[in-house]
Amino acid sequence: MDTDLARGAGRTPGSAVRDRAGDPDARWLTALMHAAFFLLLGASLTRFLLRHPGEARTPWIIALCVAIAVLYVIGPVLGSRPTPRSLVWLGVLVAVWMVLVVLAPSFAWCAVPLFFTGLRILPPRAALALVALLTLFVVAAQLRLAEGFDPNLVLAPPAVAAVATAVFVHMQRQAERQRELSERQRELIDDLLRTRRELAATERREGTLAERQRLSMEIHDTLAQGLSSQQMLLQAADRTWDADPATARRHIRTATGIAERNLAEARRFVHDLAPADLAAGGGLEAALHALATRETAQGQGRLTVRCHVEGERHTALPDRVQSALLRIAQGALANVKEHANATEAALTLTHLDDRVVLDIADNGQGFVPAERTGTAGSVRGHGLPAIRARLHQLGGTLTIESVPGEGTVLSAAVPLTATAPPTATEDLV
């Protein structure tokens, strides 16, 4: 019996603690505890029927076994909190078990699941009192079954009960500590994420300010200084135009040289402010492939972006067209990542005879375009208005095809011949 009691003590405390802590393993562990109870009850009834067949108390024993089985099944419905109903249920369950032990001492084997039922429901002091009472009944029952006095039967049940109680209390405290540790970890993670967002925002602001300062210094030291020198030289030429034409022409030639240098500086600024993928060379096709590869890598398995090029380019695309289409692709993919909840996206660049078309398609949640766009020029958000503005400057058109739950296709078409910007640059489907 010592071995069986020790095994029960090793299983049941963990079940009770996990049930309180909401551990995912609580269900099957609780089921195991219930199975152990019914197994012990069935074994005790079988032992009684085999050793005491046909006795007058047999119907009472069977009836009490059925009653205690029904009571035990009702227990999980009442929950593990010490409510009045659960306390009454526990009292009746223990009382029926005690009557069984008095009539048939072999039913003392069912005490182990009752130990932890009481420990799980009752306050600490009441639970310890119940364990002590159950232990006394177990000792008395074992002595009745024994042929003579056996010290092991007197000492073993209290020892097992003490170990089982200690294990239960220890595991309960461990579960509470684990819950506290989990809560602290969640708080730390929330603080870390908030700090990272604040740091990222600060870095963006600092980067913007630094870039503005750099550009202002560059413009001041080059273009502004050159324009100031040109102004002085032209004013000097104007003053000496009649009196000293040669000097005036020399001032004009110097101003012309400064203007050439300023033009070169302005072109350098434009080149530096162009998209980095285009500045690296390779044209729009290479830049779009690089963008798709970069977005796929940054998606870390959540978003896969593919790039396709169809048709042949007959003439080189103007720099402003390449830059605008690349920026449109970047903005559209930003919208996909932020709003679409998509797993796949595709960039398709199509070269036609009279225009170039960039399609950005995704398999996301889609939307109703009419809800995103009201009257002309009143689009919610910042992505679509920026795309419309870029296309409007190039005389292009924007078409959006989207159905909720079926993804979105955004098509930007730019004519290769100079045309006046249209008044309406967006078609919604």
| % of the chain beyond a pLDDT of 90 | 13
User: CB–CB of 130/88 below 8 Å?
Assistant: no
Q: For the residues 103-109, what does the mean pLDDT come to?
A: 78
More confident residue, 188 or 155: 188
State the average pLDDT for the chain: 77
Distance (Å, whole) CA 94 – CA 129: 13
Number of helices (H), then strands (E), belonging to the chain: the values are 14, 6
Nearest in space to 15 (alpha carbons), one of 119, 127, 129:
119
Distance (Å, whole) CA 214 – CA 212: 5
- Cβ-Cβ contacts under 8 Å for 419 (sequence gap 6 or more): 395
> pLDDT of 18-35, one tens digit each?
344 445 455 665 677 778
User: CB–CB of 293/265 below 8 Å?
Assistant: no
Q: What does pTM read for this prediction?
A: 0.40
More confident residue, 84 or 373: 84
Question: What does the pLDDT read at residue 17?
Answer: 37
Q: For the residues 415-419, what does the mean pLDDT come to?
A: 72
